[in-house]
Amino acid sequence: MTRTPDTVHLAVVQMHMTDQLEDNVERAAEHVREAARRGAQVILLPELFENLYFCQVEREDYFGLAHPLEGHPFIGRFQELARELNVVLPVSYFEKAGQAHYNSLVCIDAGGELLGNYRKTHIPDGPGYEEKYYFNPGDTGFKVWDTRFGRVGVGICWDQWYPETARVMMLQGADFLLYPTAIGSEPAEVETPNNHQMWQRAMVGHAVSNSSYVGSSNRIGKEIVGGLEQTYYGHSFISDYTGELVAELGDSEEGPLLHELNLKEARKFRAGMGFFRDRRPELYGPLLTTDGVTRRG
C-alpha cells in the first residue's frame, strides 16, 4: 500500500451524451484534459457515458453495445490519457464477459495501469431504469484501489443508495468515495419518484456516517430512447467529510467540477468521531439476511 497523500485534487465531470460512441468518448477526453489542466489528479466521468442511457427500454439490439474488457474499443484510449496527464481515471463501461453482461468500471492509475474491474452490485429495475434486463448482478464484491493519489472507493449509481456499499469501501481503507451516475426524470406513472435533492442527501449521509469526502458525476440533457424521453438532472457535486456540499454544478452546466480534498484533516476528524471505533459488527448479523431473521446455510 502506498502512503496516502495529505491532499488530492478531485474532479467530477458532468456532460451530455449522444448515440455516437466516438462523439461521447472524444467529449469525455476533452473534459478530462480540461480537468487535468486545472490541476485535477483524480477525474470521475459519469456512468455509461459511451452512449445514451439505453436502459430506458428493453431492446435486444442494445446488448450489441457491450464489449469485453480485453481489447475494449475505448478503455485503452483512457489508459493512454491517464499516462500522459498523470491522472487517475475510474471509467464506466458496458461489459460483455462470455454470455454475461455487466455494468462495470475499471480504475486506471496515473501511469495508465489497469488496477482492476468492478461490476455494479445493486441493479435497479423500474420504469425508465430497466437495468435488470441488461445487467447480471455484479460478482466482484466492492472494490477499493490503491492509486497514486490515494485509496479510491467507487460504487456505481444504484449502489449510491446503499449505506452498506459506502461502509464496506471505507472498511476496506478508502480515503474517499466516488459514484458515477445516470439519473434524472422518471415516467409519470412512477409512484415513488426521487429528485436531485434526495439523490444528494443519500450520498451526503454516507459522507457524514463515514467522515469521508464523497463525489458524484451525472449526465445532463434530454435523451430519447425507444420513444421514451428522460431529462437528466445534473447537480454533480462534491461533499466534504462533514456532509457540507463544497462544490456543485447546476442542472445544465457541462464540464469538470474541482475541489481539493484535505485527506489528512478527514483522517483526523474520522478518528475523533469514533464511528469506526464504536461499531458492533458481532451484532450486525441481520444485515446478512433479506428478512432480518432467516440465516443462510
The residues annotated with a catalytic role in the active site are 47, 120, 157
Closest CA to 256 of 17, 35, 16: 35
Separation between Cα atoms, residue 177 and residue 152, nearest integer Å: 6
Could you give the 3-state DSSP secondary structure of residue 11?
strand
* 84 φψ region: left (φ > 0), alpha (ψ -120 to 50), beta (else): alpha
DSSP state of 291: S
Separation between Cα atoms, residue 293 and residue 203, nearest integer Å: 28
Q: Are 94 and 50 in contact (CB under 8 A)?
A: yes
Q: Are 13 and 43 in contact (CB under 8 A)?
A: yes
Query: Residues near 283 by Cβ (< 8 Å), separated by ≥ 6?
Result: none
Separation between Cα atoms, residue 239 and residue 200, nearest integer Å: 9
